[in-house]
Chain A
Amino acid sequence: MFIMTSETPTSYSIVAESKPSEVVRVCDEVLAKLKEKGFGKDDMFAVHLTLEEAFLNAVKHGNKMDPDKTVKVDYSVSQDKLEISVTDQGPGFKPDNVDDPRFGENLFKPGGRGLLLMNSYMDMVKYNEQGNSVYMVRYKEKPLQRRKSSVLDEDKD
């Protein structure tokens, strides 16, 4: 028997200092909430990876480690999905202007893989117009094959 359940997602907000070490506290808090809602290991791995990339981008590239600036993490968790946004107080950036690290000489550059990983592990990634806030969604227990078929096709070329 299929039982429909209705649930209002619970929303939370974290304001963190602009230092990389804050990523541990932020990730621990969000992952604990996901665990409470029964998200699996794959989801936890994906959210951990993505949140770390987004938070460190906000601290380093957005706020440029300015101690007077903060990073705000707003998120809500329901039985089937996590919605999360990471907002810094920097001028913003244009994600379309970031080179794809998978091709040409970019493949041999040390940086530029964070956005690719965020796009790969989340079901939705959107930036605000200013480019200082990223909104991401991860649905629970959705197989990666359906999420990004290109990942599995990668070895064919």
Chain B
Amino acid sequence: MADIKPRISVEYASNAVIVGFTDEKILEDKDINALQESIMSVIEQSEKINLILDFKNVKFLSSAVLGLLIRISKRIYESEGHLRLCNINPKIYEIFKITRLTKTFDIYKDIESATEDLP
């Protein structure tokens, strides 16, 4: 069986690291674990990271991915960094609203607005 790992794109802006999910949907535990490893390694490369997660390509997600986002936000909070989410399509945004995670995460329209006012 082919081992298809979920991929992320990483872009370094002047005041933030922008990580994009390149898969439309992330279903299995092993994919979520691989994704967590990739993102955590990006976080650990900076002392107080400003991380922007770009959801432009994401068309579907599950509660397991929400759990992953919580774990990422905790790690960033512990290291006194900032996490912002952006480019979330309306269907995915609805999931954030239902679960009230709109109150936990800083959600922005696009990368430009997400990179504004970052320390």
Contacts of A53 in B (CB 8 A): 62-63
User: Which residue of B27, B67, B71, B94 contacts A23 across the interface (Cβ within 8 Å)?
Assistant: B27
Contacts of A42 in B (CB 8 A): 91
Complex Cα gap A86–B101 (Å): 27
Q: Is the CB of A45 within 8 A of B60?
A: yes
Interface presence of A48 (CB below 8 A): yes
Q: Is the CB of A117 within 8 A of B102?
A: no
B contact residues, total (Cβ < 8 Å): 24
Interface presence of A108 (CB below 8 A): yes
Q: Is the CB of B97 within 8 A of A113?
A: no
Return B17 CB to nearest CB of chain A, in Å: 22
Contacts of A103 in B (CB 8 A): 100
Complex Cα gap A111–B71 (Å): 10
A contact residues, total (Cβ < 8 Å): 30
Interface presence of B74 (CB below 8 A): yes
User: Which residue of A20, A114, A151 contacts B94 across the interface (Cβ within 8 Å)?
Assistant: A151
Interface presence of A24 (CB below 8 A): yes
Given contacts A102-B99, A110-B67, contact A48 B60 (CB under 8 A): yes
Across the A-B interface, the 3 shortest Cβ-Cβ residue pairs: A110-B67, A113-B63, A102-B100
List 19 additional contacts besides A23-B28, A48-B60; criterion CB under 8 Å: A42-B91, A45-B60, A56-B64, A101-B99, A101-B100, A107-B104, A108-B70, A108-B74, A113-B63, A116-B98, A116-B99, A117-B63, A117-B98, A117-B99, A144-B94, A151-B97, A154-B97, A154-B100, A155-B102
